[in-house]
Amino acid sequence: AVIKNVFTSGFVRVTTLARANVKMLITALSYNLYQLRTIRRKYLG
């Protein structure tokens, strides 16, 4: 739900498979950074 709502990447509007793969790769990296920030806030308080 985070990838779909926060990053608005539930639907890919690019035309080629290579571009779609790159877009989803960047989205996955962004999601991981977002999760790290959330975990860091939880433990550092």
Specify the higher pLDDT residue, 23 or 37: 37
The whole-model pTM stands at 0.69
pLDDT at 14 over 80: no
Q: What is the per-residue DSSP string for 1-45?
A: -HHHHTS--SS---SSHHHHHHHHHHHHHHHHHHHHHHHHHHHH-
Q: Cβ of 45: how many Cβ atoms within 10 Å?
A: 5
Q: 9 vs 14, 31, 37, 42, 43, CA distance in Å?
A: 11, 11, 19, 26, 28
Confidence of residue 35 (pLDDT cuts 50, 70, 90): very high
Specify the higher pLDDT residue, 4 or 33: 33
